[in-house]
């Protein structure tokens, strides 16, 4: 009963999430208000020390400065020089200078708008960073005895907490720092960082033990071991991230920048050789016109929008509650070919609960329940806790004087248990490991029992449940298999459709689990993944990723457990669930605040969209530049070479108006493309070659045609300026 209601809650939460996500999607559009707010920052960025990092725009900046100087000195030197044999009005150089500054400014606007979107969010986050008081336990003895802890606790400021400090947090209090719960269970309001109003449950022992500083405990009491220094907390990292302070150019961006800079140098040579080639026929082309030509030729469109595209990609992830710790990870997401998901908590809801005790012949249910419950009495994992709960429901109670040596569960051993003082040993765990433990003792298991046990195990597995086999070794060394505990988990809804979508994107999904192959197969089929890897230890997960990477695949992985951490670190895109352990969150290069593994689909989509947008706008920019050149050259030189007039297909009015129109077009194309750069080119799940062909057509052809139309239209206005 409690299971259904918790399922319902989960479902409601998911619905709410979808709602919020849709709202975020609308918000991630582009508004003129954003543009207005970005103006002061854009002006600040006119500073040359800001500009030189972007070689293409730096050239424009230098051109703008140069023409401004010329505009000032020209009148003193007797007016503008005729260019290429054509007269130009006195206002030519000042107007060109003005539009060159506009070009730089528009590029700054693009970047400032992209950055501005994170600023509001950073402000809200900063409020959660406020200093709180922490109850530091000086001598922690792990009993969970509140009174004893209070006796040895002192109040300190959260800013003084060190890694490894143990604090206790009670209902109503703010958690003073990032950490892992080492004792207790609590519901926590994490809305400050996730925007999600429904409280979440955090508990010690399992894969939901991490808590974030600045979030509030709503019920109960927890003991937390601090895992981060003040100033280097999760929220600090989030703030740096959304503010863009931590942003570094990605390898792809650097490569593209080098390409754009090289192109610019080539065009500079082209422009500088114009005069030596042309002088024999006419007067030299003026410096102003040379600068204008150069700016038209170099890839200013992509140069202006490149960093905005990158920031917007990160921002789109933030809007969907995903924090990407590096831009490189976002790019890698666009090229991912293999996606690894763990089973428990990722494909299933993850509240794996005991649902039945199934003894083998000759063992009473009471005996199995007692052994299973005793071996779980000190097992803090959700599985262990649920076994005790079910046993208690069936009438079992823990003797007050039971004591013994706890054998904790690990993902390597796949087993946990208790060694009682009288020498009795109890173990529970995966069928294969417990059988091995029984065999190690040289115990003789009757064939009928082992057949019965195998059947129980495979029945549970085929239903997608996790069987835990329970065995006991008496003080005299007699080892017996007692039976099986059925752990139930539920596959999340809607997964097959999501995996189908991934398949259409060319991504193979693989489920990795520590569970046995039969359970794995049943769940894999129900969820609709392409492949699965069962009985995987953390090392196996790591090895699997390395193998995929050696085969040239880019691997994404989601995980939440400490045992997932090495694999999360090795994956090209490692998405840690926010509910997970701190170890997992440290290891990954992304954190999903909603802890929704199917979010990877959106992450991949955003990564692809980033790469496609960058590619499309680069194509457009370069096609545009070349076309611009052919659009204005005939008009520029028609005075000297009248034959060229025939090529002036747009009928540009004069050499001066042709050059100015091209410069104006070059500048405003940036403004027109800001929304596209921020929103991203539409991505549909289809083969990469289709996308490439489609974009080459749209943005390549578009890039060639638009200058002819745009410059022609602008020329109609420019010719109205006296003298042009
Ligand atoms: N508390 C426990 N005590 C004993 N055995 C356990 C306990 N929890 C899990 N097991 C056994 O160990 C196996 C491995 O558990 P582990 O948490 O590493 O992987 P998993 O949760 O099944 O897979 P994943 O989380 O990767 O999807 C489980 O399938 C189960 O058989
Ligand atoms: K250009
Ligand atoms: Mg697990």
Taking only the tens place, the pLDDT of each residue in 690-706 is 778 888 889 999 999 99
* Cα of 269 from ligand 2 centre, angstroms: 15
Which of 207, 342, 625, 715 is labelled catalytic?
342
* Closest among 172, 259, 260, 186 to 216, alpha carbons compared: 172
CA pair distance 580, 564, nearest whole angstrom: 10
Between the CA of 384 and the centroid of ligand 3 the distance, in Å, is: 13
Q: Which amino acid residue places its CA nearest to atom 19 of ligand 1?
A: 514
Q: What are the distances in angstroms from CA 158 to CA 126, 136, 163, 192, 217?
A: 15, 9, 12, 17, 16
C-alpha of residue 586 to centroid of ligand 3, in Å: 17
Prediction ipTM score: 0.94
558 close to ligand 1 (CB < 6 Angstrom): no
pLDDT at 36 over 80: yes
The model carries a pTM of: 0.78
Residue 570, C-beta contacts closer than 8 angstroms, at least 6 positions apart? 542, 545, 546, 549, 555
**Whether 342 is catalytic:** yes
Structure tokens at 156: 């300190």
Token reading at 671: 């403004």
| Per-residue pLDDT tens over the stretch 638-682 | 766 777 777 777 778 888 888 999 999 999 999 999 999 999 988
Per-residue CA distances from 422 to 368, 373, 401, 477, 611 (Å): 18, 17, 13, 12, 65
Share above pLDDT 70 across residues of the chain, in percent, rounded to a whole number: 93
Binding site membership of 411 for ligand 1 (Cβ less than 6 Å):
yes
The whole-angstrom separation of Cα 154 and Cα 133 is 10
Per-residue pLDDT tens over the stretch 89-148: 888 999 999 999 999 999 999 999 988 877 777 877 787 777 788 999 988 887 777 788
d(CA 244, CA 266): 32
Q: How far apart are CA 512 and CA 524, in angstroms?
A: 10
Q: Is the CB of 638 under 6 A from ligand 1?
A: no
Which of 375, 429, 536 to mutate for ligand 1's pocket (most ligand atoms within 8 Å of CB)? 429
Tell how far CA 154 is from the center of its chain: 39
**Going by CA atoms, what residue is nearest to atom 12 of ligand 1?**
414
In the prediction, which pLDDT does 56 show?
A: 94
Residue 5 CA to residue 623 CA, distance in Å, equals: 59
Residue 86, pLDDT score: 64
Return d(Cα 622, Cα 304) in angstroms, integer.
13
Element (H, E) at 116: helix 92-128
Is the distance from the beta carbon of residue 560 to the nearest atom of ligand 1 less than 6 Å?
A: no
Residue 139 phi, psi (nearest 5): -125, 100
The residue whose CA has the least distance to atom 24 of ligand 1 is: 513
Query: Is the beta carbon of 414 within 6 A of some atom in ligand 1?
Result: yes
Q: Which atom of ligand 1 is nearest to the CA of 381?
A: 1
Report the Cα–Cα distance between both ends of the chain, in Å, rounded. 82
> Does the pLDDT of residue 539 top 80, yes or no?
yes
Of ligand 1's atoms, which has the minimum distance to the CA of residue 515?
A: 29
């Amino acid at each position: 009963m409690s299971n259904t209601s918790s399922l319902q809650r989960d479902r409601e939460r998911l619905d709410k999430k979808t709602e919020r996500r849709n709202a975020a999607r609308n918000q991630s559009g582009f508004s003129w208000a954003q543009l207005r707010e970005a103006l002061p920052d854009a002006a600040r960025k006119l500073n040359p020390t800001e500009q030189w990092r972007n070689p293409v725009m730096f050239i424009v900046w230098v051109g703008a400065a140069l023409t401004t100087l010329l505009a000032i000195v020209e009148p003193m030197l007797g007016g503008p020089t005729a260019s290429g044999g054509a007269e130009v009005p006195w206002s030519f150089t000042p107007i060109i200078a003005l539009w060159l500054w506009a070009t730089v400014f528009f590029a700054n606007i693009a970047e400032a708008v992209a950055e501005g979107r994170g600023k509001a969010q950073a402000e809200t986050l900063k409020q959660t960073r406020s200093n709180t008081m922490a109850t530091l336990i000086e001598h922690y003895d792990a009993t969970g005895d509140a009174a004893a802890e209070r006796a040895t606790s002192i109040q300190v400021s959260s800013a003084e907490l060190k890694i490894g400090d143990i604090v206790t947090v009670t209902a109503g209090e703010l958690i003073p720092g990032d950490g892992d719960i080492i004792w207790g269970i609590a519901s926590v309001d994490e809305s400050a960082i996730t925007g999600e109003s429904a409280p979440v449950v955090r508990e010690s022992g399992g894969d939901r033990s991490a808590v974030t500083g600045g979030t509030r405990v709503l019920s109960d009491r927890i003991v937390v071991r601090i895992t981060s220094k003040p100033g280097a907390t999760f929220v600090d990292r989030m703030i740096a991230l959304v503010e863009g302070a931590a942003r570094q150019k990605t390898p792809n961006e650097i490569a593209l920048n080098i390409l754009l800079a090289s192109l610019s140098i080539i065009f500079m040579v082209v422009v500088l050789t114009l005069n030596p080639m042309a002088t024999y026929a006419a007067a030299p082309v003026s410096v102003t016109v040379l600068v204008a030509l150069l700016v038209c030729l170099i890839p200013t469109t992509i140069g202006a929008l490149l960093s905005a595209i990158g920031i917007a990609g990160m921002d789109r992830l933030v809007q969907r509650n995903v924090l990407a710790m590096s831009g490189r990870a976002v790019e890698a997401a666009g090229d991912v070919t293999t996606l690894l998901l763990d089973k428990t908590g990722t494909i299933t809801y993850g509240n794996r609960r005991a649902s039945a005790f199934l003894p083998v012949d000759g063992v009473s249910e009471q005996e199995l329940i007692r052994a299973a419950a005793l071996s779980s009495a000190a097992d803090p994992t959700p599985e262990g806790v649920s076994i005790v709960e079910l046993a208690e429901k069936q009438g079992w109670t823990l003797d007050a004087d039971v004591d013994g040596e706890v054998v904790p569960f690990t993902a390597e051993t796949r087993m946990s248990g208790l060694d009682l003082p009288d020498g009795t040993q109890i173990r529970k765990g995966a069928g294969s490991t417990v059988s091995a433990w029984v065999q190690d003792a040289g115990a003789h298991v009757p064939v009928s029992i082992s057949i019965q046990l195998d059947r129980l195990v495979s029945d549970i597995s085929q239903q997608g449940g996790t069987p835990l086999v329970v065995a006991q070794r008496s003080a005299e060394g007699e080892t017996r298999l007692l039976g099986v505990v059925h752990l139930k988990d539920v596959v999340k809804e809607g997964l097959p459709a999501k995996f189908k979508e991934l398949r259409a994107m060319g991504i193979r999904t693989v489920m990795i689990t520590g569970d046995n192959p039969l359970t794995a197969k049943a769940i894999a089929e129900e969820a609709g993944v392409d492949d699965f890897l069962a009985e995987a230890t953390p090392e196996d997960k790591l090895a699997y990723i390395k193998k995929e990477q050696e085969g040239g695949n880019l691997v994404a992985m989601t995980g939440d457990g400490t045992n997932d951490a090495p694999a999360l670190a090795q994956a090209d895109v490692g998405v840690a669930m926010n509910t997970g352990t701190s170890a997992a969150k440290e290891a990954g290069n992304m954190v999903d605040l909603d802890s929704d593994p199917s979010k990877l689909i959106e992450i991949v989509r955003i990564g692809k969209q980033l790469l496609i947008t960058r590619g499309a706008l680069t194509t457009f920019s370069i096609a545009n530049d070349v076309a611009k050149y052919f659009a204005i050259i005939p008009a520029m030189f028609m005075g000297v070479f009248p034959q060229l007039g025939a090529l002036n297909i747009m009928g540009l009015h004069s050499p001066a108006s042709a050059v100015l129109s091209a410069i104006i077009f070059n500048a405003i194309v940036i403004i027109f493309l800001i929304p596209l750069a921020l929103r991203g080119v539409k991505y549909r799940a289809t083969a990469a070659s289709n996308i490439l062909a489609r974009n080459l057509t749209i943005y390549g052809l578009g890039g060639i045609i638009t200058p002819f139309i745009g410059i022609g239209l602008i020329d109609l206005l420019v010719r109205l300026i006296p003298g042009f």
